[in-house]
Every structure is written in C-alpha cells, then in structure tokens.
Chains A and B, each alone.
Chain A
C-alpha cells in the first residue's frame, strides 16, 4: 500500500516565526512530488513539483527540499504571515498513481 504521511497534522505558529513540516513517502519507483496550498474556501493551488533527489524549490518565503533516497520532503516557511494560514498538501506521483497526504493545517497567530 502506497502511503504518504504528513506531520504534524496541525501547527500553530506565531506571526513572524519560521516553521517547517514534513512529507514522508516510500522511496522506490519515485516519479514526482507535489506540494499544494489549500486556503479555506478556495481551491488547492500548486506550490512546487519536485522530481530529483536533492531538489530545492523556492517561491518567496516558502521553500521545499526533496530526499528521494530516504523518502521525505520538507516545506519551510520563513517569517510566517497571516496569509500563510492554510492546509499544505503533498502528493506523490508514482506509477501513474497520485496519492495525497492528509495535509498539515497551519494556523498563524497574530
């Protein structure tokens, strides 16, 4: 069974602080890993897609790294802002199957 695990399930972070969370997956037959941000009352939006071991992607204050050999990806947010409050989903694409993790729900405290 292909399982994508995200931790923590929920996170409260003070505005201005930096934070990170994890996506873990089986490392064999890896194709691509996607990160999405899902704000309340909106559609999930793609943040990053990563394919190579050691990949690092960055978009503003948000960045992500990928380790396919050990089967994990980290998402980092630097200097959290209220607009970062959302659920962050990772999804593994492997053998034409797309499996989503359950997400990390991030709350930014003013």
Chain B
C-alpha cells in the first residue's frame, strides 16, 4: 500500500513564526504536491516537485516555499506565518503521467493565531 505521511495532524502557531510541514512517501514517487483546502474553495495547489531539488509554483505560492532534498520527502515552509494561512494542508505524491492517481496524506490542520 502506498503511504504518505505528514508530520502533524494538528498544529497551532503564532503569527510571524516560521513553520515547517513535512511530508514523506514510501513508494518512490517522482512527483510530490502541496495543497491547501479551505471551505468553499476546494483543493488549491501551492507548490509541486517533479524530482529531487526541483520545484514549481502552483496556483497560490505566495507566502510559501518548499524543499525537496530527498526523493521521499517534500517540505512546505511558511516563512512568516499569517492568520490567512490557517487552513488544512494536504500533501500528495504520484508517479509521472496524467493517467496515474495522486496518493494523499492525512492532512495537517494548521491554525495561526
């Protein structure tokens, strides 16, 4: 079974803090993705990566950065957390190709106060 794990299910941080969200997959997938999910807005792509040390901006990259130093790990970084970054964050991974599904982690619910 494909497994995608995220470092925390729930996280509470203060405004201005630097926040790291970690994602690890065990299926040797080349592609990894970070989404946020907000009520009424659906899943929105923040950043994705097609290979180690590669990253591409998604639809809403502002305020975020990512790191992919190893194939199995994709980190999302909030340089200076703000209250509008309170959200559910989902990581996903997949093999290359439009016909292959993404496998999702359980999500991290981040609250910035």
Binding site for B on A (CB under 8 A): 31-32, 34, 36, 42-46, 49, 51, 89, 91, 93-94, 96, 98, 100-103
Contacts and interface: CB of A to CB of B under 8 A. Distances in A.
B4 A102 contact: no
Contacts of B44: 100
6 closest cross-chain pairs (CB), A and B: A46-B101, A102-B42, A93-B98, A31-B98, A43-B104, A100-B43
Contacts of A93: 98-99
A43 B107 contact: yes
B42 A51 contact: no
A20 to B, nearest CB: 20
B38 to A, nearest CB: 10
Given A49-B99, A93-B98, A44 B90 contact: yes
B61 interface: no
Nearest to B4: A43
Interface string B1-44: 00010000000000000000000000000000101000011111
Contact of B104 (A44, A51, A103): A44
Given A49-B100, A103-B42, 14 more contacts: A31-B98, A42-B106, A43-B90, A43-B103, A43-B106, A45-B104, A46-B103, A91-B102, A93-B98, A96-B98, A98-B45, A100-B35, A100-B42, A102-B42
A13 B37 CA distance: 25
B43 A32 contact: no
Interface string B82-113: 00000000100000001111111111000000
Contacts of A101: 42
Contacts of A43: 4, 90, 103-107
- Residue with the highest number of chain B CB atoms closer than 10 Å, among A32, A44, A93: A44
B43 A49 contact: no
